């Protein structure tokens, strides 16, 4: 048993899923969503248009 990206893994298939941010216990749910960087939320709160943010992301 080892821990990869915070997921407990029992075999190499679980390790492969965990490396892709898929919970080995619930693989049907798919990959966990990645959080937005803090600067994107701050820029949106400041009124910067989303299209402009897409240019820099």
At 10 the pLDDT is: 93
Residue with token string 């939320």: 41
Give the predicted TM-score (pTM) of the model: 0.51
Torsion of CA 51, 45, 48, 57, to 10 degrees: -50
Cα 25 from chain centre:
17
DSSP classification of residue 55: H
Decide if 31 contacts 21 (C-beta within 8 A).
yes
Residue 3 · residue 9 · CB < 8 Å: yes
pLDDT band at 57 (very low <50, low <70, confident <90, very high): low
What does the pLDDT look like over 1-54, one tens digit per residue? Answer: 899 988 899 999 999 999 988 888 887 777 766 777 777 778 778 876 666 556
């Amino acid at each position: 048993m080892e821990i990869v990206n915070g997921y407990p893994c029992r075999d190499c298939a679980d390790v492969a899923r965990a490396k892709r941010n898929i919970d080995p216990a619930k693989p049907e749910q798919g990959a966990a969503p990645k959080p937005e960087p803090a600067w994107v939320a701050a820029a949106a709160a400041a009124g910067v248009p989303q299209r402009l943010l897409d240019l820099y992301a």
